[in-house]
Amino acid sequence: MPLDLIQCITADEHDLRNQSIDALCQAATGAELLAETERLDQFWRRSDNLYARVRALFFLYAIHRFHLPHRPEQVAGRGRTPYVGYRHLLARRFEEAIDHFRHAARQDGLSDNLASALATAYHLLAFQTLANQVRRSVRSVAGNQWMFRVGHPSDHPLRLRPELRQTGPDQTYPLLHETTPVRMDLSHSAWSDIFFLGMDYPEGARVLNVSIDLGVRGRDQAPRPPVEAYLRVIDEPVLRLTSIDLGTTADVQHLHEVFDFARDYLGLLKAAVIAAGLVPPGLEGGEQPLRDVLEKLVGSGQGLELVSQVNDIPKGSRLAVSTNLLAALIAVAMRATGQTASLTGPLSESERRLVAARAILGEWLAGSGGGWQDSGGVWPGIKLIQGERAQPGDPEYGISRGCLLPRHTWLGHDAVSPAVRDRLQQSLVLVHGGMAQNVGPILEMVTEKYLLRTEPEWTGRQRAIDLLDTILTHLQQGDIRALGEATTANFYGPIQTIIPWAHTAYTESLIQAMQQAFHTDFWGFWMLGGMSGGGMGFMVDPARQTAAKDFLQQTMTRLKGELQHALPFAMDPVVYDFAINENGTHATLHSGRDALFPPAYYAMMVPRWLRMDPRTLTRTRRAELRYIGDISTRRTDFKGLVNQLFERMLPDRGAADDRQESLRELMHRVGFDPEQQEAIRRDLRSGLLGLAQNRLPATTVIEDVEPTDVIDCRQPAAAALAECGSQALRNGEVAVITLAAGTGSRWTQGAGVVKALHPFCSLQGRHCSFIETHLAKSRRQARAAGTAIPHIFTTSYLTHDPIAAHLARVENHGYDGPLYLSPGRSVGVRMIPMMRDLRFLWEETAHQQLDEQAEKMRASVQAALLNWAQESGEGRDYTDNTPLQCLHPVGHWYEPANLLRNGVLRALLQARPQCKWLLLHNIDTVGADLDPALLGQHITSGAALSFEVIARRIEDLGGGLARVNGRPRIVEGLALPREDIEFRLSFYNSMTTWIDLDQWLALFGLTRDQLDDEATVSAAIRQLGATIPSYITIKDVKKRWGHGHEDVFPVSQYEKLWSDMTALPEANCRFLVVPRPRGQQLKDQAQLDGWLRDGSAAWVEERCDFND
Amino acid sequence: MITINKAVVTAAAPRQRTLPLQTLVDRDGATKSALVIILEEILAAGVQEIGVVIAPGDQAAYADAAGDYAGRLTFIEQAEPRGYGHALWQAREFVGTEPFLHLVSDHLYVSATEKGCARQLVETARETACAISAVQATRESQIGLYGTIGGRPVPGFTNRYDIECVQEKPTPTLAEQTLAVPGMRAGHYLCLFGMHVLTPLIMTLLEEEWAKTAAGQNLQLSPALSQLAAREQYLAVLMQGHRYNIGLKYGLFMAQWALALCGADRETILADLVELLATRPG
């Protein structure tokens, strides 16, 4: 039967519509696939149905990403992507990019590189189309539209309710107080609450959502609604925004500040101000003073104060704290402006729906995004939330199958009795495991897999839908044990089938510990949402709940201690106390002495007021201070306030001093060279070093290599080469060096974990770290050769101790061969970046433009960071973080060189004097192994260094193999004079290098015999190092604070790179083209899913021996 | 066909009771009180019996302001200010069992046709034989000042609507959800014009609402109008004319300009305006 993917898209019949594209494509020939891409491309262009377009785009993506690259008869192994198309891609002009790429394919034939470019463009266009539709739907919700039409303060239609404008006899204004629970998803919806899914597959979008009060065990006396918002009138024409939890307040005086979300930590409050219509989105860009808006809204010379508090509930709880906070702020502001019928009490159903719609709008404005169930805390108790088919009259009708907003069905006490609710509360232990991870990539993966109907995931989704019914039945019957079994089945079944990355080694360890400790009293695990490791639930026999809480607290703390270098923990784990909230969001109005904010607000604000001239205090503030004085001795919640005030006004400097001391100790211990640091700083400040100075002279001639410059090793090699390599292996002439000094800035967005230890993937049914995977490959080759193979991991001050401790704990993962750690001997202190470098990075270099709102956010963040760099002092040492986050390794060029200095190579050669060949590779090049044929190739070529390269794809950025002034070498991306040059280069550097040990030593001017002479070795390294360029780079570093909060700062560091060895004229280098699965580096966790699906993971698995 | 012989003007609201007593120059160039202009609007519609609901103690001032028309008026006192609906309900005995024309006293009207606004409304009411309110398309930024209707166009007419509900001074948020009328420009709603022909059922509905009104609360007209729409046919007609709320900031000033610019002194006023603009101080 001929391939007909369009039928899959347009068919109404369930069986046709829901066919797996992978299965269909695997059965097709390459020519059929190419022909189908033509038809699909024409189809999406002419289709006016949103989901038909989007599915066609996803099909095109999948064919180009996963299927055509495996059809070498249709796709050339080497090719180029037109730079102009890439520029369109960066500028989000995806359709033009596709046109350029297709034109190039018609002209030159489709290559692997072009296929990757087309896949990326189709993928991005599909998501842009979906996101645009959600935005249009949010704007078109009745009740939201007017806010986009208000273009001038004179048009502002809202007025504050009179009850809030009337002062009491004491001259204070009433205070409106909104309390809102958070929500937990009892079913884990298999992410079916993603807007895109709900709008295309409303029948499958269902969740069981419970509003809950929370308390942190051991800290809070009892659970209470964790989210609070306050609003009152003030006698100043400003918008005063205060986040108690973040300790931030600001008086907003200009319209543009309201729309500047990243200026401070008040972005969420600003989004609420806009989404609630206080400052309608239509006013963005207006030049009028905010005072004019406030005059219309409140009165002449008056303003508003909006305060938020989430009672220190940590970020990443998977309880949708931020969405419910947004909803609470919006609700309080809508009540205050008469947009709800009642000022106080609960909301009506239509009002709740509108608050939910406004919260979606607010999330879009602030550049964040959750699911449609996240504002569930606005509703009371337990409810079934389901997608709703679009009907005539709905704005979505004719565009998507489902509506933007779902339908909430409240499950009253007749459906779930009070006794059952009690049993649930007595059985369930809610925790925050301490991990906080970005779930954005997961949500994209879920959407993509749904739209492609990939077979296992689609089956998993159907199973998740069935499990929801099971969970609901057990809940209604009050069988909590069976409910626990169902949530566990959901976690190990559909959830991990759809997204394997939702599970972590940490979670698995916790579950196993619970099983061992509680046996049959452990009823089940329940993943709260997003991904595990943060908010999680454990169901136990109610009689054991207290014991389970104690056990989980201890176990999570212990496991965090063991895994904190391997996984990105943002905070210490906590156990919650919780209770079902039967009110939903609820407001009260307070006046006179009762119109007070929480004590933490005054602990933050009173010191500021006391520093002001008393004559400038407003009458309201004077009255408030009098009240605080009165009640601070009488109200229990205010009793600790006086102490807090003293602590705030006279802060203890101890912690900051300790940090400085600890950093100095660390620098001393790891061999920091202050003279080198000062020299770099001097050059950085004077402009001799910098991002722009990294580049080669503009007159440099850089061209793609000739076919004769590389040896193509992608096809099976001659038997003689393999035998040559095998012989060397059998003779014990080979060792492996894995570069493991880094923390993977991109891998965990600067979280500072040891990448080598990160359990990045499940291989052969186990969570495997990079280090374990590399050892498994060496083990396999060692067993094949019948000899032990030495494996060296180079480390740095950041990674040495954790790797050493880990290997000791796991007994080297049972690795038989000698295993060495090569500690780093070079370190630098990160520096506050130069503003010119930040501008160069953000303005001069190409970067992916984001969608409209996210781009605004990014611009705002960048402005704030420029300000930070200026205020902190450009070029100064970066010390305002944990000591380990302030230092940096100085580039992987030093890592092999350190082998000479730290005695590891000497020790290796003493034990293995026959060792002649080294395989050096990066920690994240998971496919690299001691392939005998490649080793044989290297040996027979006589090269000093054989660098492995792969055919470039569009995502391979950062330089590559080139002829520089006529000589083949690897050139780093940051050294290229122009960015378009990279797009002329066919091969990308994998960093994997075969080394002839003696020739390499000769480059230093050394022989084996001289390795004992420390002075000679040091001088040799210095001498060769002087010929290698130092690059300035900007890296992101996370600073953690508060309860799971993180800030990311760009910092300057300098480094020398291994690939610049190819530039040495005396180095005898070869370049081997290897298969992509071997040379692919895993730099970003978002790559993992594609890596798993395109067969690369299986390729690696085949080369591993885990000693099971 | 119904007959409309009576009109009720409400003028008892505490903050509005002096508004009709202010003096303006009417279209004919004569100086009159706002009350007289309203009364002449009613009389031009062919309605002769007029009841004016006033606050206690205001009768003398109103009689004085009514000038030659004072003798035609029946003054009805609202003993305590309990809202607009309550004020109208005080006229229940005056209207008896007949349909009646109702105008507020803080609005002045300028018709775009030869016929006055009240006359347009009364003629439409006679034709439709049901309760009918005059409405005006109003931008959403202004709807917080007026009662606003939700409804659907009457087939075959471009200016008549079947009223489904009435909301008093809604926010645009509520208006978008419940008061959108097909055919209206985006962001525009049909707001009450301050001029209605009502059937006696409204008095019954007000009585029912009053029975439910708690002590200290006011009785509004809009909920009763919504009830009216549920109980019998109730239409809205888009007026060919404009209303001017003289209770707003610069409201009286704007009303005066409107009257002057469509009256006998138009040329003089325009000339004066040009001179003022040319020589304005500062």
Partner-chain contact A143 B142, CB within 8 Å: no
Name which residue leads in pLDDT, A263 or A309: A309
Average pLDDT over chain A, rounded to an integer: 89
User: Is pLDDT of A957 > 90?
Assistant: no
- A1072 three-state secondary structure: strand
Average the pLDDT over A854-868 and give the result.
Answer: 83
Average the pLDDT over A24-52 and give the result.
Answer: 91
Distance from CA of B114 to the nearest CA of A (A): 33
Residue position matching structure tokens 């996101």 = A131
Distance from CA of B187 to the nearest CA of A (A): 6
Q: Does A564 touch chain B (CB under 8 A)?
A: no
* Residue-wise pLDDT tens digits, A528-539: 866 777 888 999
Partner-chain contact B140 A146, CB within 8 Å: yes
Query: Where in chain A are the domains?
Result: 5-140, 664-832+874-1102
Nearest residue to B85 (alpha-carbon basis) of B227, B224, B200: B224
Distance from CA of B194 to the nearest CA of A (A): 20
Tokens of A293: 């808006």
ipTM, interface predicted TM-score of the complex: 0.78
- A745 three-state secondary structure: coil
Nearest residue to A726 (alpha-carbon basis) of A783, A674, A770, A684: A783
A-chain residues within 8 Å CB-CB of B140? 146, 149, 157
pLDDT band of residue A367 (cuts 50, 70, 90) is low
User: Is pLDDT of A844 > 80?
Assistant: no
A-chain residues within 8 Å CB-CB of B180? 142
* Segment among A625-634, A736-745, A778-787, A822-831 with least mean pLDDT: A625-634
Partner-chain contact B176 A350, CB within 8 Å: no
A-chain residues within 8 Å CB-CB of B174? 143, 339
B 111-150 residues with CB < 8 A to A: 139-144
User: Please, which residues have CB within 8 angstroms of residue A510's CB and are 6 or more apart in sequence?
Assistant: A433, A536, A538, A552, A555, A556, A559
CA-to-CA distance for A839 and A851, rounded, in angstroms? 21
pLDDT band of residue A408 (cuts 50, 70, 90) is very high
Question: Nearest chain B Cα to A155, which residue?
Answer: B141
Question: Nearest chain B Cα to A149, which residue?
Answer: B187
Of A142, A155, A337, the CB nearest to B171: A337
Question: Nearest chain A Cα to B146, which residue?
Answer: A157
CA-to-CA distance for A1071 and A327, rounded, in angstroms? 58
Find the helix or strand (DSSP H, E) in which A572 lies: none
Distance from CA of B170 to the nearest CA of A (A): 8
Q: Does A354 touch chain B (CB under 8 A)?
A: yes
Question: Nearest chain A Cα to B186, which residue?
Answer: A146
The reported pLDDT for the residue numbered A566 is 86
CA-to-CA distance for A311 and A275, rounded, in angstroms? 23
Partner-chain contact A159 B174, CB within 8 Å: no
The reported pLDDT for the residue numbered A657 is 58
User: Please, which residues have CB within 8 angstroms of residue A176's CB and are 6 or more apart in sequence?
Assistant: A164, A230, A231, A232, A332, A335, A336, A343, A344, A587, A588, A589, A590
User: Is pLDDT of A859 > 90?
Assistant: no
Say how many C-beta atoms besides its own lie within 10 A of residue B148's C-beta. 28
pLDDT band of residue A679 (cuts 50, 70, 90) is confident
B-chain residues within 8 Å CB-CB of A351? none
The reported pLDDT for the residue numbered A49 is 81
Distance from CA of A401 to the nearest CA of B (A): 22
Asked if residue A515 lies in contact with residue A554, where contact means CB atoms within 8 angstroms, the answer is no
Nearest residue to B117 (alpha-carbon basis) of B17, B40, B232: B40
B-chain residues within 8 Å CB-CB of A150? 141
User: Is pLDDT of A1043 > 70?
Assistant: no
Q: Does A157 touch chain B (CB under 8 A)?
A: yes
Q: What percent of chain A has pLDDT over 90?
A: 56
Question: Nearest chain A Cα to B182, which residue?
Answer: A393
Distance from CA of B196 to the nearest CA of A (A): 25
pLDDT band of residue A579 (cuts 50, 70, 90) is very high
Asked if residue B5 lies in contact with residue B46, where contact means CB atoms within 8 angstroms, the answer is no
Partner-chain contact A145 B176, CB within 8 Å: yes
The reported pLDDT for the residue numbered A316 is 66
* Residue-wise pLDDT tens digits, A683-710: 999 988 898 888 998 899 999 999 999 9
Distance from CA of A444 to the nearest CA of B (A): 33
Q: What percent of chain A has pLDDT over 70?
A: 97
* Segment among A845-849, A914-918, A965-969 with least mean pLDDT: A845-849
Partner-chain contact B141 A142, CB within 8 Å: no
User: Is pLDDT of A241 > 90?
Assistant: yes
User: Is pLDDT of A83 > 80?
Assistant: yes
Find the helix or strand (DSSP H, E) in which A900 lies: helix A894-901
Distance from CA of A392 to the nearest CA of B (A): 14
The reported pLDDT for the residue numbered A659 is 58
User: Is pLDDT of A313 > 80?
Assistant: no
CB pairs under 8 A between A and B: 48
> In A181-213, which positions are buried (b, 16+ CB within 10 angstroms) versus exposed (e)?
bbbbbbbbbbbbbbbbbbbbbbebbbbbbbbbb
Contacts 24+ apart (CB under 8 A), B76-81: B76/B8, B76/B51, B76/B52, B77/B12, B77/B53, B78/B12, B78/B53, B78/B54, B81/B12, B81/B13, B81/B14, B81/B55, B81/B218
Of A147, A155, A339, the CB nearest to B174: A339
Distance from CA of A289 to the nearest CA of B (A): 19
Asked if residue B64 lies in contact with residue B40, where contact means CB atoms within 8 angstroms, the answer is no
Partner-chain contact B173 A150, CB within 8 Å: no
Q: Does A156 touch chain B (CB under 8 A)?
A: yes
User: Is pLDDT of A1042 > 70?
Assistant: no
The reported pLDDT for the residue numbered A315 is 67
The CATH homologous superfamily to which domain A664-832+874-1102 belongs is: Spore Coat Polysaccharide Biosynthesis Protein SpsA; Chain A (3.90.550.10)
User: Is pLDDT of A934 > 70?
Assistant: yes
Of A146, A150, A337, the CB nearest to B176: A146
* Residue-wise pLDDT tens digits, A519-569: 999 999 998 866 777 888 999 999 999 999 999 999 999 999 888 888 888
Tokens of A360: 């979606």
Partner-chain contact B176 A149, CB within 8 Å: no
Nearest residue to A713 (alpha-carbon basis) of A296, A1073, A358: A1073
Partner-chain contact A149 B177, CB within 8 Å: no
Average the pLDDT over A901-906 and give the result.
Answer: 92
Partner-chain contact A146 B143, CB within 8 Å: no
Of A142, A149, A338, the CB nearest to B187: A149
CA A314 to chain centre: 17
Which CATH architecture is the domain B6-279 placed in? Alpha-Beta Complex (3.90)
Partner-chain contact A337 B144, CB within 8 Å: no
Partner-chain contact B141 A155, CB within 8 Å: yes
The reported pLDDT for the residue numbered A731 is 96
Question: Nearest chain A Cα to B189, which residue?
Answer: A146
Partner-chain contact A350 B177, CB within 8 Å: yes
The reported pLDDT for the residue numbered A846 is 75
* Segment among A4-13, A791-800, B66-75 with least mean pLDDT: A4-13
- A429 three-state secondary structure: strand
CA-to-CA distance for A838 and A343, rounded, in angstroms? 48
Of B171, B180, B186, the CB nearest to A157: B171
Partner-chain contact B173 A339, CB within 8 Å: yes
The reported pLDDT for the residue numbered A650 is 65
* Residue-wise pLDDT tens digits, A722-756: 999 999 999 999 999 999 988 776 777 666 689 99
B 150-209 residues with CB < 8 A to A: 171-177, 180, 186-187
* Residue-wise pLDDT tens digits, A264-298: 778 899 999 999 999 999 998 888 899 999 999 99
The reported pLDDT for the residue numbered A369 is 64
Nearest residue to A431 (alpha-carbon basis) of A543, A511, A541: A511
Distance from CA of B84 to the nearest CA of A (A): 18
Which residue out of B169, B173, B184, B185 would a mutagenesis test of the A interface target, given it has the greatest number of A Cβ atoms within 10 Å? B173
Partner-chain contact A156 B141, CB within 8 Å: yes
User: Is pLDDT of A959 > 80?
Assistant: yes
Distance from CA of A228 to the nearest CA of B (A): 24
Q: Does B279 touch chain A (CB under 8 A)?
A: no
Query: Where in chain B are the domains?
Result: 6-279
The reported pLDDT for the residue numbered A41 is 96
